[in-house]
Amino acid sequence: MNAKEKISSSTFAAQYPELGTGPVGTDVYCDPAFYERELAAIFRRTWLCVGRVEQAPKSGDFFQKALPTFGYSVIVARAKDQKLRAFYNVCQHRGNHVELRQSGHCVGFTCPFHGWTYGLDGKLVGVPDASGFFDLDKSKLGLRQLALDVWEGFVFINMDPSPSQTLEEAMGEQGRDLVGYPFDSGTAVFEYEGTINCNWKSMIDSFCETYHVPVLHRHSVKDTLAGPDNPYGRLIDCRIKGPHRTQSVWGNMAYTPNPVQGLAWQNAPGPAVTSGVVDAAVKLPKGLNETRAKHWSLDVTVFFPNWIIVMGSGMYFTHQMWPLAANKVVWQMRGFLRPATNAAQRFGQENSMVELRDAVLEDCNTLERIQTAQDEGLITEMIYHDHEIALRHQYHVVKQWVEGFEKNQKKKGKGAR
Given the rule CB under 5 A, which of 5-13, 182-190, 359-367, 389-397 is the region that contacts Fe ion?
Answer: 359-367
Q: Shortest distance, CB of residue 111 to ligand FES, whole angstroms? A: 3
Does position 144 interact with ligand FES (CB under 6 A)? The reply is no
Task: Kindly state the smallest distance separating residue 112's Cβ from ligand FES, in Å.
Answer: 8
Q: Which is nearer to ligand FES, 111 or 204 (CB)?
A: 111
Cβ distance to ligand FES smaller for residue 127 or 310: 127
Candidate segments 101-109, 152-160, 257-265, 358-366, binder of Fe ion by CB under 5 A = 358-366
Which of residues 73 and 158 has its CB atom nearest to ligand FES in the complex? 73
Shortest spacing between CB 98 and ligand FES, in angstroms: 7
In the window 70-129, what residues touch ligand FES (CB under 6 A)?
Answer: 91, 93-94, 96, 111, 113-116
Over the chain, what HEC string results? Answer: CCHHHHHHHCCHHHHCHHHCCCCEECHHHHCHHHHHHHHHHHHCCCCEEEEEHHHCCCCCEEEEEEECCCCEEEEEEECCCCCEEEEECCCCCCCCCCCCCCEEECCEEECCCCCCEEECCCCEEECCCHHHCCCCCHHHCCCCEEEEEEECCEEEEECCCCCCCCHHHHHHHHHHCCCCCCHHHCCEEEEEEEEECCCHHHHHHCCCCCCCHHHHCCCCCHHHHCECCECCCCCCEEEEECCEEEEEEECCCCCCCCHHHHHHHHHCCCCCCCCCCCCCCCCCCCCCCCCCCCCEEEEEEEECCCEEEEECCCCEEEEEEEEEECCEEEEEEEEEECCCCCHHHHHHHHHHHHHHHHHHHHHHCCHHHHHHHHHCCCCCEECCCHHHHHHHHHHHHHHHHHHHHHHHHHHHHHHHC
Stretch of residues binding Fe ion (CB under 5 A), selected from 162-170, 300-308, 355-363, 374-382: 355-363
Q: How far is the CB of 317 from Fe ion (least distance, A)?
A: 13
CA atoms within 13 A on the CB side of 292: 6
What, of Fe ion, ligand FES, none, does residue 363 touch, CB below 5 to 8 Å by kind? Fe ion
Q: Which is nearer to ligand FES, 114 or 218 (CB)?
A: 114
Nearer to ligand FES, 84 or 143 (CB): 143
Using N-to-C axis directions, what is the helix angle for 259-267 and 343-364, rounded to 10°? 120
User: Which is nearer to Fe ion, 65 or 393 (by Cβ)?
Assistant: 393
Count the residues of the shown chain that bind ligand FES, applying the rule CB under 6 A: 9
Pairs from 32-37 (Cβ < 8 Å, separation ≥ 24): 32/325, 32/326, 34/326, 34/402, 35/199, 35/323, 35/325, 35/326, 37/402, 37/406
300 binds, among Fe ion, ligand FES, none (CB under 5 to 8 A by kind): none
Q: How far is the CB of 113 from ligand FES (least distance, A)?
A: 4
Comparison of 101 and 410: residue with beta carbon closer to ligand FES: 101
CB of 125 to ligand FES, least distance (A): 13
* Footprint (CB under 5 A) of Fe ion, residues 360-379: 363
Residue 96 touches which of Fe ion, ligand FES, none (Cβ within 5-8 Å per kind):
ligand FES
Judged by CB under 5 A, how many residues of this single chain contact Fe ion?
1
* Sheet with 108-110, side-by-side order of all strands: 108-110, 117-119, 124-126
Least CB distance to ligand FES at residue 145 (A): 17
Smallest distance from ligand FES to CB 393, Å: 45
* 45, 38 Cβ separation under 8 angstroms: no
Q: Which is nearer to ligand FES, 113 or 133 (CB)?
A: 113
The CB-of-323 to ligand FES minimum distance in angstroms stands at 29
Number of residue whose CB is nearest Fe ion? 363
Nearer to ligand FES, 124 or 249 (CB): 124
In whole angstroms, how close is the CB of 122 to ligand FES at the nearest point?
Answer: 14
Residues that bind ligand FES (CB under 6 A): 91, 93-94, 96, 111, 113-116
Binding site for Fe ion (CB under 5 A): 363
